[in-house]
Structure 1
Amino acid sequence: MRPEASRDHRALRPSRVLRAVAVLAAASAALLLTACSGSPTSAETPRAAATAVPAPTSTPDPFPKEPLTASTRYVALGDSFAAGMGAGAEQGSCRLSANSYPSVFARKSGIDLIVNAACAGATTSDLLKHQLIALDDRTDLVTVSIGGNDLGVAAIAGDCAAGKATACRNEVTAALSLLNVLPDRLDTVYSAVAQAAPNARIVVTGYTLLYDASDPNAPDFQTAAAINAATLGLNEVIRQAVDDQRAEGKPMTYLPVDFAGHAIGDRRPWLNTSGSAVFHPTAAGYTEYASRLVQLLGTAH
């Protein structure tokens, strides 16, 4: 599907722009509070700000509850979070791992993973150009993890992991400034996926919060809370884009994933804290993603 194909109906929905601006404002406010306040704010401040955006009017859920079978044909799309970067045993320039959440989910559920077309570093544009070819009218299930690289998360990871607090917060601010362009990009991607796989259920995953920001006295509290606020803003934009697709009758649903108790700063984080895969889940983290998919979809009957 060409990106231009879905622009006409988007132009008729000014609420998309207003909601994106509201998300941007809420996340930016949370960032300013954590980065500039003389006294640290609660770890709940970013979460409350992100969830303060009014939810769209509820519509009938078009996502079917059909059981999986051993012959369910599954295709995974997305970026490094779908490829499994950081899980170990990675191969090729796309950093594909047998410990990625699509591979683990396929093994746990007993369905047929036709291909994991995800690639580290992929943006929404990359997915449209290189990954849609994996889909056809025989595809039964699609998972999608995309959007982070459109905001320049690689630069955030590099500066923040290196302990460059000012540069880190500047990168987060830059990422937040791009949130307003993401809704249209996601809308184009999700519409294209639905068109390329017209008989498939589509599950869109969110990005887990990276830090345990529950201790306001921690040395890196402000940085941790700022990154979490940006992640919450990204997830809210993704969720709203999925809601727009559902309102049009697309069999699509949003799946949030939370590493509560296993974020960076916890005793046993499910995230890499150093190296080229910093801020990406470990094998245990990807297993949690797979477990959430099992909870949503079940296993093959």
Structure 2
Amino acid sequence: MRRFRLTAYVTSLFLAIGLALAGAGTAQAAGVNYVALGDSYSSGVGAGSYTSESGDCKRSTKAYPYLWQAAHSPASFNFMACSGAVTTDVINNQLGPLNSSTSLVSISIGGNDAGFADVMLTCVLGNDNDCLSRIATARAYVDSTLPGRLDTVYSAISAKAPSAHVVVLGYPSFYKLGTSCIGLSETKRSAINDAAAYMDAAIAKRAANHGFTFGDVRTTFSGHEICSGSPWLHSVNWLNIGESYHPTAGGQSSGYLPVLNSAA
């Protein structure tokens, strides 16, 4: 009988500790004030299920910020990311919810500033030389102008939300190389991948200089690029051109969300 009582006591004790720890975890998540900023890769273009209130910003309930808040139930969630956004759009239109109580910010930005859409259009419609020339122009922009624009955005975030943990998400590699695939030449695919990596490196450097965390999604997207057996990115879609080269719902949930989970 004494052994039974001791066992019951120990079981109850561990159960109480477990409930307390679970409650602490919930309280911690409930105390997070999360603001999601950025461009179409953060709004969820390509994932479908866009909210009616977001209009042309195309904020998706399958985008990684929405999925994160659904899983963690933060105290507040402001989904500000917008399709087509450049750095000045973030500053002018997205920073309103940030304040001293903001504890988590995520953002992907820079691709539109560097002319991502025009690069892809040129590479799809032009020859190899046209593509390489346009990419060279984009890389020059990444060297000369993008760092300053990123600094302006990152400084504005820090000024409005000085206590926030900021996670800067990068862009994936677009193509699996060395495979037989209809569409762009291997030369174009390789140059596009190199350009994405070049931009990611520039973004990561500016993020680090501001004390932000850079989330590299190239690792999670590895094996799921266009021309792979199970791509998480849309290839060119002439019936819905805006979704071309954007993550699918699977790319958001399995490519972007795990990176935010690890970094947040």
TM-score where L is the length of structure 1: 0.70
Structure with higher RCO (Cα < 8 A, 6+ apart): 1
1:44 alignment partner in structure 2: none
Task: Give 1 or 2: higher helix fraction.
Answer: 2
**Structure 1 residues 156 and 112: CA distance shift in structure 2, 3 A:** farther
Determine if contact 1:102/1:113 at 8 Å carries over to the other structure.
Answer: no
Partner of residue 3, structure 1 = none
Match of 1:227 in 2: 192
1:272 aligned to which of 223, 230, 234: 234
Specify the SS of the correspondent of 1:272.
Answer: coil
Aligned partners of 1:290, 1:89: CA distance in 2, in Å?
Answer: 17
Is 1:125 aligned with 2:85?
Answer: no
Name which of 162, 173, 189 aligns with 1:198.
162
Task: Tell me how far 1:230 sits from its aligned partner.
Answer: 0.5
In structure 1, which of residues 71, 74, 91 is the aligned counterpart of residue 34 of structure 2?
74
> Is the contact between residue 161 and residue 278 of structure 1 (CA under 8 Å) also seen in structure 2?
no
Q: Residue 236 in 1 paired to residue 196 in 2?
A: no
Task: Find 1:106's aligned residue among 69, 82, 97.
Answer: 69
- Of the three residues 248, 251, 260, the one matched with 1:293 is 260
TM-score, normalised relative to structure 2 = 0.80
Q: Give me the identity figure in percent.
A: 35
1:86 aligns with 2:50: no
The alignment's C-alpha RMSD in Å is: 2.1
8 Å CA contact 1:147, 1:182 repeated in 2: yes
Unmatched 5+ residue regions in structure 2?
1-26
Q: Kindly provide the CA deviation profile for residues 262-301 of structure 1, in whole angstroms up to 9, marking residues without a partner as x.
A: 001101100011332111100000112112211233xxxx
Q: How far off its partner does 1:107 sit?
A: 1.7
CA contact (8 A) 2:91 2:156 kept: yes
Deviation, 1:216, is 9.4
Deviation at 1:116, TM superposition (A): 1.1
Deviation of 1:166 after TM superposition, in Å, equals 3.9
Residues 81 and 145, structure 1, Cα contact 8 Å, conserved in 2: yes
Residue by residue over 1:14-51, the C-alpha shift from the partner in whole angstroms, topping out at 9 and shown as x without a partner, is xxxxxxxxxxxxxxxxxxxxxxxxxxxxxxxxxxxxxx
Instruction: Identify unmatched segments of 5+ residues in structure 1.
Output: 1-66, 247-251
* Aligned partner of 1:257 among 213, 217, 241: 217
Q: Secondary structure at the match of 1:224?
A: helix
1:283 aligns with 2:246: no
**What residue identity is the alignment partner of 1:74?**
Y
Q: How far is 1:134 from its partner? A: 2.1
Q: Secondary structure at the residue paired with 2:56?
A: coil
